[in-house]
Protein backbone atom coordinates (compact mmCIF):
# COMPACT_ATOMS: atom_id res chain seq x y z
CA UNK A 1 0.00 0.00 0.00
CA UNK A 2 1.04 3.63 -0.36
CA UNK A 3 0.61 4.66 3.26
CA UNK A 4 1.66 2.98 6.47
CA UNK A 5 -1.79 2.52 7.96
CA UNK A 6 -4.36 -0.15 8.84
CA UNK A 7 -7.43 0.20 6.62
CA UNK A 8 -10.94 -0.49 7.88
CA UNK A 9 -12.10 -4.10 7.82
CA UNK A 10 -14.51 -3.44 4.93
CA UNK A 11 -11.63 -2.47 2.65
CA UNK A 12 -10.50 -5.90 1.50
CA UNK A 13 -8.80 -5.85 -1.91
CA UNK A 14 -5.31 -4.47 -2.49
CA UNK A 15 -6.66 -1.95 -5.00
CA UNK A 16 -9.29 -0.91 -2.47
CA UNK A 17 -6.63 -0.38 0.18
CA UNK A 18 -4.57 1.81 -2.14
CA UNK A 19 -7.59 3.87 -3.16
CA UNK A 20 -8.65 4.30 0.45
CA UNK A 21 -5.12 5.36 1.40
CA UNK A 22 -5.01 7.95 -1.36
CA UNK A 23 -8.44 9.31 -0.45
CA UNK A 24 -7.38 9.59 3.18
CA UNK A 25 -4.18 11.41 2.23
CA UNK A 26 -6.01 13.81 -0.07
CA UNK A 27 -8.57 14.59 2.63
CA UNK A 28 -5.74 15.23 5.08
CA UNK A 29 -4.06 17.47 2.51
CA UNK A 30 -7.19 19.58 2.11
CA UNK A 31 -7.40 20.22 5.86
CA UNK A 32 -3.72 21.12 6.36
CA UNK A 33 -3.88 24.77 5.36
CA UNK A 34 -6.24 25.43 8.27
CA UNK A 35 -3.20 24.99 10.51
CA UNK A 36 -1.87 28.37 9.32
CA UNK A 37 -3.73 30.07 12.16
CA UNK A 38 -1.18 28.52 14.55
CA UNK A 39 1.86 29.67 12.55
CA UNK A 40 3.18 31.91 15.33
CA UNK A 41 3.07 29.14 17.95
CA UNK A 42 6.51 27.96 19.16
CA UNK A 43 5.71 24.33 18.31
CA UNK A 44 4.52 25.07 14.78
CA UNK A 45 7.90 24.57 12.99
CA UNK A 46 8.24 21.18 14.69
CA UNK A 47 4.78 20.16 13.46
CA UNK A 48 5.64 21.24 9.90
CA UNK A 49 8.87 19.26 10.11
CA UNK A 50 6.98 16.15 11.23
CA UNK A 51 4.58 16.55 8.31
CA UNK A 52 7.54 16.85 5.94
CA UNK A 53 8.74 13.48 7.20
CA UNK A 54 5.26 12.04 6.69
CA UNK A 55 5.19 13.37 3.14
CA UNK A 56 7.89 10.91 2.14
CA UNK A 57 5.16 8.29 2.40
CA UNK A 58 2.20 10.25 1.05
CA UNK A 59 3.79 12.37 -1.72
CA UNK A 60 0.68 14.59 -1.89
CA UNK A 61 1.40 17.17 0.80
CA UNK A 62 4.12 19.18 -0.91
CA UNK A 63 1.90 22.15 -1.88
CA UNK A 64 0.31 22.65 1.56
CA UNK A 65 3.70 22.13 3.24
CA UNK A 66 5.24 24.98 1.24
CA UNK A 67 2.44 27.23 2.51
CA UNK A 68 2.85 26.04 6.12
CA UNK A 69 6.64 26.36 6.07
CA UNK A 70 6.51 29.87 4.66
CA UNK A 71 3.75 30.80 7.12
CA UNK A 72 6.01 29.68 9.98
CA UNK A 73 8.83 31.88 8.65
CA UNK A 74 6.60 34.90 8.11
CA UNK A 75 4.77 34.62 11.43
CA UNK A 76 8.05 34.89 13.34
CA UNK A 77 10.85 36.20 11.14
CA UNK A 78 13.51 35.87 13.86
CA UNK A 79 13.18 32.08 14.04
CA UNK A 80 13.75 31.37 10.33
CA UNK A 81 16.83 29.22 11.02
CA UNK A 82 15.01 27.17 13.66
CA UNK A 83 12.13 26.67 11.23
CA UNK A 84 14.54 25.52 8.50
CA UNK A 85 16.36 23.15 10.85
CA UNK A 86 13.13 21.71 12.27
CA UNK A 87 11.95 20.94 8.74
CA UNK A 88 15.24 19.23 7.94
CA UNK A 89 15.07 17.15 11.15
CA UNK A 90 11.52 16.05 10.37
CA UNK A 91 12.51 15.08 6.84
CA UNK A 92 15.46 13.04 8.11
CA UNK A 93 13.18 11.28 10.62
CA UNK A 94 11.03 10.17 7.70
CA UNK A 95 14.17 9.07 5.85
CA UNK A 96 15.25 6.95 8.83
CA UNK A 97 11.99 5.04 8.64
CA UNK A 98 12.35 4.72 4.88
CA UNK A 99 15.87 3.31 5.25
CA UNK A 100 14.72 0.79 7.86
CA UNK A 101 11.95 -0.40 5.56
CA UNK A 102 14.41 -0.77 2.69
CA UNK A 103 16.74 -2.82 4.88
CA UNK A 104 13.83 -5.11 5.77
CA UNK A 105 12.26 -5.40 2.31
CA UNK A 106 15.08 -4.56 -0.10
CA UNK A 107 15.60 -1.64 -2.48
CA UNK A 108 12.66 -2.81 -4.57
CA UNK A 109 10.42 -1.48 -1.80
CA UNK A 110 10.68 2.06 -3.21
CA UNK A 111 9.84 1.08 -6.77
CA UNK A 112 6.93 -1.11 -5.67
CA UNK A 113 5.45 1.31 -3.13
CA UNK A 114 6.16 4.63 -4.85
CA UNK A 115 6.07 3.89 -8.61
CA UNK A 116 5.51 7.57 -9.43
CA UNK A 117 8.97 8.42 -8.08
CA UNK A 118 10.54 5.94 -10.50
CA UNK A 119 8.80 7.69 -13.38
CA UNK A 120 10.05 11.12 -12.26
CA UNK A 121 12.70 12.82 -14.40
CA UNK A 122 14.73 13.25 -11.21
CA UNK A 123 15.18 9.49 -10.94
CA UNK A 124 17.42 9.32 -14.01
CA UNK A 125 19.17 12.58 -13.06
CA UNK A 126 19.97 11.29 -9.57
CA UNK A 127 21.23 7.99 -10.96
CA UNK A 128 23.55 9.76 -13.43
CA UNK A 129 24.82 12.18 -10.78
CA UNK A 130 25.51 9.43 -8.23
CA UNK A 131 27.31 7.34 -10.85
CA UNK A 132 29.46 10.31 -11.89
CA UNK A 133 30.39 11.68 -8.46
CA UNK A 134 29.60 8.94 -5.97
CA UNK A 135 28.50 9.60 -2.40
CA UNK A 136 29.94 13.13 -2.47
CA UNK A 137 26.95 14.09 -4.62
CA UNK A 138 24.48 13.21 -1.85
CA UNK A 139 24.57 16.64 -0.17
CA UNK A 140 23.96 18.71 -3.32
CA UNK A 141 21.22 16.31 -4.41
CA UNK A 142 19.57 16.56 -0.98
CA UNK A 143 19.72 20.36 -1.23
CA UNK A 144 17.72 20.32 -4.44
CA UNK A 145 13.94 20.95 -4.32
CA UNK A 146 13.23 17.39 -5.46
CA UNK A 147 12.01 14.13 -3.93
CA UNK A 148 14.54 12.12 -1.91
CA UNK A 149 13.44 8.63 -2.91
CA UNK A 150 15.89 8.29 -5.83
CA UNK A 151 18.78 9.44 -3.63
CA UNK A 152 17.91 6.95 -0.91
CA UNK A 153 17.47 4.17 -3.47
CA UNK A 154 20.81 4.65 -5.22
CA UNK A 155 22.67 5.33 -1.97
CA UNK A 156 21.48 2.00 -0.54
CA UNK A 157 22.18 0.27 -3.85
CA UNK A 158 25.78 1.52 -3.71
CA UNK A 159 26.16 0.42 -0.06
CA UNK A 160 26.55 3.96 1.25
CA UNK A 161 26.43 3.85 5.05
CA UNK A 162 23.25 4.96 6.78
CA UNK A 163 25.16 7.55 8.81
CA UNK A 164 26.69 9.11 5.68
CA UNK A 165 23.37 9.05 3.81
CA UNK A 166 21.26 10.51 6.61
CA UNK A 167 23.95 13.06 7.51
CA UNK A 168 24.13 14.18 3.89
CA UNK A 169 20.35 14.49 3.69
CA UNK A 170 20.29 16.56 6.88
CA UNK A 171 22.99 18.99 5.68
CA UNK A 172 21.44 19.23 2.22
CA UNK A 173 17.93 19.80 3.55
CA UNK A 174 19.12 22.45 6.02
CA UNK A 175 20.69 24.29 3.07
CA UNK A 176 17.51 23.93 1.04
CA UNK A 177 15.22 25.21 3.79
CA UNK A 178 17.56 28.06 4.78
CA UNK A 179 17.45 29.30 1.18
CA UNK A 180 13.72 28.70 1.00
CA UNK A 181 13.08 30.64 4.21
CA UNK A 182 15.00 33.64 2.91
CA UNK A 183 13.14 33.49 -0.39
CA UNK A 184 9.83 33.43 1.50
CA UNK A 185 10.89 36.47 3.54
CA UNK A 186 12.33 38.56 0.72
CA UNK A 187 11.16 37.32 -2.70
CA UNK A 188 8.11 35.01 -2.51
CA UNK A 189 7.69 34.89 -6.28
CA UNK A 190 10.97 32.97 -6.49
CA UNK A 191 9.33 30.06 -4.65
CA UNK A 192 8.38 28.79 -8.09
CA UNK A 193 11.87 27.30 -8.20
CA UNK A 194 10.90 25.20 -5.18
CA UNK A 195 7.91 23.75 -6.98
CA UNK A 196 5.34 26.19 -5.57
CA UNK A 197 2.36 26.82 -7.83
CA UNK A 198 1.21 30.32 -8.77
CA UNK A 199 -1.77 29.87 -6.44
CA UNK A 200 0.51 28.91 -3.55
CA UNK A 201 2.80 31.89 -4.19
CA UNK A 202 -0.16 34.26 -4.15
CA UNK A 203 -1.27 32.89 -0.78
CA UNK A 204 2.21 33.47 0.64
CA UNK A 205 2.43 36.99 -0.81
CA UNK A 206 -0.74 37.91 1.06
CA UNK A 207 0.89 36.90 4.34
CA UNK A 208 4.21 38.66 3.72
For residue 56, the tally of other CB atoms under 10 A from its CB is 21
| pLDDT value of position 208 | 66
Cα-Cα-Cα-Cα torsion 24, 143, 49, 96, nearest 10 degrees, comes to 80
The answer on pLDDT for 57 being more than 80 is: yes
Weakest-pLDDT range from 31-40, 92-101, 133-142? 31-40
The answer on pLDDT for 36 being more than 80 is: no
Mean per-residue pLDDT of the chain:
85
> Any idea what DSSP says for residue 114?
-
| pLDDT value of position 98 | 95
Assign residue 93 a region: left if phi > 0, alpha if psi is -120 to 50, beta otherwise?
alpha
Q: What percent of the chain has pLDDT over 90?
A: 58
Compare 198 and 13 and report the one with higher pLDDT.
198
Q: What global pTM score does this model have?
A: 0.81
Do residues 175 and 188 touch, judged by C-beta distance below 8 A? Answer: no
**Cα separation values, 9 from 1, 12, 13, 22, 101, Å:** 15, 7, 10, 17, 24
The Cα–Cα gap between 188 and 196 comes to: 10
The answer on pLDDT for 3 being more than 50 is: no
Amino acid sequence: SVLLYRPPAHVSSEEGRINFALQTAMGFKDSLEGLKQFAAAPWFPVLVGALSGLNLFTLVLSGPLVVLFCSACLANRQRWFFTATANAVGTVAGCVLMVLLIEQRGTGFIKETFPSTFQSKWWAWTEQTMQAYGSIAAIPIAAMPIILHPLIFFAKLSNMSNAALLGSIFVGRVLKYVIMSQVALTAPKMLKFFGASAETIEKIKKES
